Amino acid sequence: MNDESDLPHHDHPAPHPDRSGPGGDGPEPRDGRSGPRDEERLYRLQRRLADFAAARDWAPYHTPKNLAVALSVEAAELVEIFQWLTPEQSARVMEQPESAHRVADEVADVLAYLLQFCEVLGVDVLDALAAKIERNELRFPVTDGQGLNRHSSE
């Protein structure tokens, strides 16, 4: 791959993690908490993404900058689905099979690029998220004012 015509041309270079085959064990009950099996599954999917890119010699293109840009594009594609919906319509988007599939596809793309970004930079995504939640719990303690629904942007 030396000239621009040799660059991989694709809308979605990473496979959509599915629930079948290696790395996809099927759905697990969700209770809002992850366990060791979820962590193992996440890391297996991250490894599959890295292997997928390596097998296609995409490593030179998977720089932090390029992956951050691709992540932003995919997030924008997710936002686009909701762009002109009312709050009520957006809450029902998963009720329609076509829009539910589009949302799931874009979520998969966002997660795929985020996992690849973390892989390239050596960020443990679960540790980073746990640390961020802990900081937010300290920053936004539950108080007697619980239920005021104030957000940090207010």
In tens, the pLDDT along 125-152 reads 999 999 999 999 999 999 866 666 666 6
pTM for the whole structure: 0.72
| Token digits of residue 16 | 């959509």
Domain layout of the chain by residue ranges: 13-27+36-137
What mean pLDDT is reported for the chain?
82
Exposure string (b/e) for 112-134, b if CB count within 10 Å is 16 or more?
bbbbbbbbbeeeebeeeeeeeee
Residue 15: what pLDDT? 36
Architecture of the domain defined by 13-27+36-137: Orthogonal Bundle (1.10)
